[in-house]
């Protein structure tokens, strides 16, 4: 059973999911704390949030490397320096390569109910499709685009006058709460993965609490 106390959080944008984790981990009983924040670009609010919280940051830009493999190795090395128990990809707009995925469990969050609407435009794609319920998914990352084993999901209604921004904000309110809950439970209770089945907690007798 894995446990997660030290978190490295990866961001590419506003970092409100990161902020929710920073706020939660201010309470020692949460069981996990953000030890570093990484990004694939400069000048984003996510990095500013980390700096305000006095959490160290690092940036590795894909464009600074000749090959994707070199970037994969570089970001894995930056992450490894902080010895995380869990990496949280929270609005990080890059697929991580084998050097990271083979070394650390990586949790990802997505603003749709997977396996529907994977990829960078999950909110827009759900809206265009005309679904009446969408939501958010917290999953373990694998080498695919939003294809890893699902840890938790929560539904969010689509309302008649929604545009992408309004719907995304409604989803993110739920997403932040779910991510904080799941990361905390994984840290405090541990988790196991069997095939696509992820279970949090003490599994003796085959039950999760």
Does position 14 bind ligand GRF by CB under 6 A? yes
**Whole-number Cα distances in Å, 25 to 7, 18, 28, 86, 167:** 10, 11, 6, 14, 27
Task: Give me 192's structure tokens.
Answer: 């196991």
- The distance of closest approach from Cβ of residue 156 to ligand GRF in the complex, given in angstroms and rounded to an integer, is 11
* Residue 189 contacts ligand GRF per CB under 6 A: no
Report if residue 49 touches ligand GRF, rule: CB under 6 A: no
Assess 16 for contact with ligand GRF (CB under 6 A): yes
The β-bridge partners of 136 are: 154
Q: Please list, in sequence order, all residues whose beta carbon lies within 8 angstroms of the beta carbon of residue 28, skipping any fewer than 6 positions away.
A: none
Binding string, 112-151, against ligand GRF, x = CB under 6 A? ----------------------------------------
* 49, 78, 170, 172: which one binds ligand GRF (CB under 6 A): 172
Helix (H) or strand (E) holding 193: strand 191-194
From candidates 32, 35, 79, 90, binder to ligand GRF by CB under 6 A: 90
Are 1 and 29 within 8 A, CB to CB?
no
The least distance separating ligand GRF from the CB of residue 1, rounded to whole angstroms, comes to 27
121 counts as catalytic = no
Nearer to ligand GRF, 25 or 109 (CB): 109
Among 25, 57, 109, 134, contact with ligand GRF (rule: CB under 6 A): 109
Concatenated DSSP letters of 134-152:
EEEEEEE--SSSS-SPEEE
Burial (CB < 10 A; 0-12, 13-18, 19+), residue 132, is exposed
| Residue ranges in 54-83 that form contacts with ligand GRF under rule CB under 6 A | none
Among 57, 175, 186, 199, binds ligand GRF (CB under 6 A): 175
Q: Is 84 in the site for ligand GRF (CB under 6 A)?
A: no
In this structure, what DSSP letter does residue 5 have? -
Task: Compute CA 51 distance to the chain's CA centroid, rounded to the nearest angstrom.
Answer: 19
Q: Does 184 bind ligand GRF (CB under 6 A)?
A: no
In this structure, what are the phi and psi dihedrals at residue 156, rounded to the nearest 5 degrees? -135, 130
Q: Which residues are catalytic?
A: 110
Which residues in this chain contact ligand GRF in the complex, by CB under 6 A? 11, 13-18, 46, 90-91, 109-111, 172, 175
């Amino acid at each position: 059973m894995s446990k997660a106390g030290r978190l490295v959080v990866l961001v590419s944008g506003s970092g409100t999911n990161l902020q929710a984790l920073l706020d939660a981990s201010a309470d020692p009983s949460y069981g996990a704390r953000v030890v570093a924040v990484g990004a694939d670009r400069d000048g984003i609010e996510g990095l500013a949030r980390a700096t305000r919280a006095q959490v160290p940051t690092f940036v590795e830009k894909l464009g600074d490397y000749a090959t994707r493999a070199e970037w994969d190795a570089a970001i894995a090395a930056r992450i490894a320096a902080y010895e995380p128990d869990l990496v949280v990809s929270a609005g990080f707009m890059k697929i991580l390569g084998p050097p990271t995925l083979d070394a650390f469990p990586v949790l990802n969050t997505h603003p749709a109910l997977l396996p529907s609407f994977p990829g960078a435009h999950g909110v827009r794609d759900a809206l265009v499709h005309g679904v009446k319920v969408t939501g958010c998914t917290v999953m373990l990352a694998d080498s695919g685009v939003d294809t890893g084993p699902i840890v938790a999901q929560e539904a969010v209604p689509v309302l008649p006058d929604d545009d992408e921004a309004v719907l995304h904000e409604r989803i993110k309110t739920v997403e932040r709460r779910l991510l904080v809950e799941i990361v905390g439970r994984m840290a405090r209770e541990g988790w196991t993965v069997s095939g696509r089945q992820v279970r949090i907690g003490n599994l003796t007798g085959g039950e999760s609490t």
